[in-house]
Amino acid sequence: KQIAGIESSSIAQEFMHDFFKLVLGTLSLPIDLPGTNYRRGFQARKNIVNILRKLVEERKASKETEVDMLSCLLKEEENKYKLSDEEIIDLIITLLYSGYETVSTTSMMAVKYLHDHPHVLQELRKEHLAIRAKKKPDEPITWEDYKAMRFTRAVIFETSRLATIVNGVLRKTTQEMEINGGFGLNFFKEKSHKKINIC
């Protein structure tokens, strides 16, 4: 809703249906054949792009002001760099995709690791209470306060390292090479993050 106002509109169901197919497609083997999740993911992305393109066109034609990220991206006078419609659409898809499940899964794993290591939880509490003690009861945490939370950031980074949300990355070589038949390689980050002998 905050990104493109999609949640409250009639296109929400269609969008979410295609979005789930897109996510499933990115998590599947990169085999582009009819009927595979990979192919369905590509088709779903095309559908999402069409939905967002219509939304962008409607927003440009409308005189009503929405309060969301899409409206901010479309305001030319507020943007130092003018983004094309395609760039705006890609940015929205990237934001939605990168926020899907990653935040909730990382938060869940942080709770699990803090439960397993009570001394770390105690240190985290100590840091937070020290910052809270310097503030009035109703005073919010600021960006400067967050930057001062060194231990908190270390816990977040370590959680991200141990509980890798992204299973692997797919890459293409920049020059031709053959590895036993030339099939694509999938690098599993989770395994490398837990082995100390891998540089």
pLDDT along the chain (199 residues), means of 10: 56 82 85 91 93 85 73 68 84 82 84 96 96 92 92 92 70 71 58 57
**143, part of any domain:** yes
**165, part of any domain:** no
Pull the structure tokens for residue 84.
Answer: 């094309």
Q: Which ranges of the chain would DSSP assign to H, the alpha helix?
A: 12-26, 37-61, 69-74, 85-99, 102-116, 118-133, 143-148, 150-162, 189-193
In total, how many domains does the chain have? Answer: 2
Range of the domain at 110: 102-155
Partners of 187 in beta bridges: 169
Q: How far is CA 111 from the centre of its chain?
A: 20
**79, part of any domain:** yes
**41, part of any domain:** yes
**pLDDT for 87:** 87
Residues 75 and 149 reside in one and the same domain: no
Pull the structure tokens for residue 120.
Answer: 């770390």
